[in-house]
Amino acid sequence: MRIDILTVVPELLESPFNHSIIKRGKEKGLVEIHVHNIRDFSTDKHKRTDDYAFSGGAGMVMTIQPIEAAIEHLKAQRTYDEIIYTSPDGEQFSQGTANQLSLKKNIMILCGHYKGVDQRVREHFITREISIGDYVLTGGELAAAVMTDSIVRLIPGVISDETSALTDSFQDNLLSPPVYTRPADYKGWKVPDVLLCGDEKRIESWKEKQAYERTKQLRPDLLEKHD
């Protein structure tokens, strides 16, 4: 998989993509992540990428020229399955969305900034708009990092134990059950006996029940999707 990210602040994405699981995925050759500075495509002598909105009001708007130039430059080299715009009014990002995108070959992500992008970018280039939550960030870089992390960890081979990703919270619209590790008794706080019994069938039954009960208590809205 290849992920290209367009941003006016590429420095914000240096650390997230050079550590931990994403770094291992890159080193294994399972994913390529390329961050492009939109300013490099600007024809403005000062490399500006924003201007005032025609409608007036506070805040600046990302201009169409450098974004169009960056997108066309990349599209000339390969076909993209999705060109995503990180927007607070986009569809809510979910584990299901991550699953879908992890099956793609080439993805481009445009990071929003300022008061957003010229609407013509959204109308003519963007295939999908995604939000990571009902709140506003300074820019779309953090949203792009969140989505990339969630997508990359699902690519087969990125995580050593692939079943780990398949049992994460939200994979089946249920939260994960509680987990424990050694010691079995710490200051009198004990691990549930069922987890020590060695009976895999009983243990799986316990996990399923716990996942359902935790979801019912903490995120009952997910149960509607599960049913």
Known binding residues for S-adenosyl-L-methionine are 112, 132-137
Strand, coil or helix: 53? coil
Residue (of 150, 149, 143) closest to 9 by Cα position: 143
Quick one: tokens of 9?
């602040």
8 A C-beta contact, residue 155 and residue 102: yes
Give the HSE-up count for residue 175: Cα atoms under 13 Å, Cβ half-sphere.
15
As a whole number of angstroms, the distance between CA 12 and CA 34 comes to 13
Q: Where are the alpha helices (DSSP H) in the chain?
A: 20-27, 64-75, 95-102, 119-124, 141-152, 162-166, 200-218, 220-226
| Cis check: omega of the bond before 16, within 30 degrees of 0 | no
As a whole number of angstroms, the distance between CA 176 and CA 181 comes to 15
Residue with the two structure tokens 């895999």: 200
Residues annotated within a binding site: 112, 132-137
8 A C-beta contact, residue 93 and residue 54: no
Quick one: tokens of 31?
């994913």
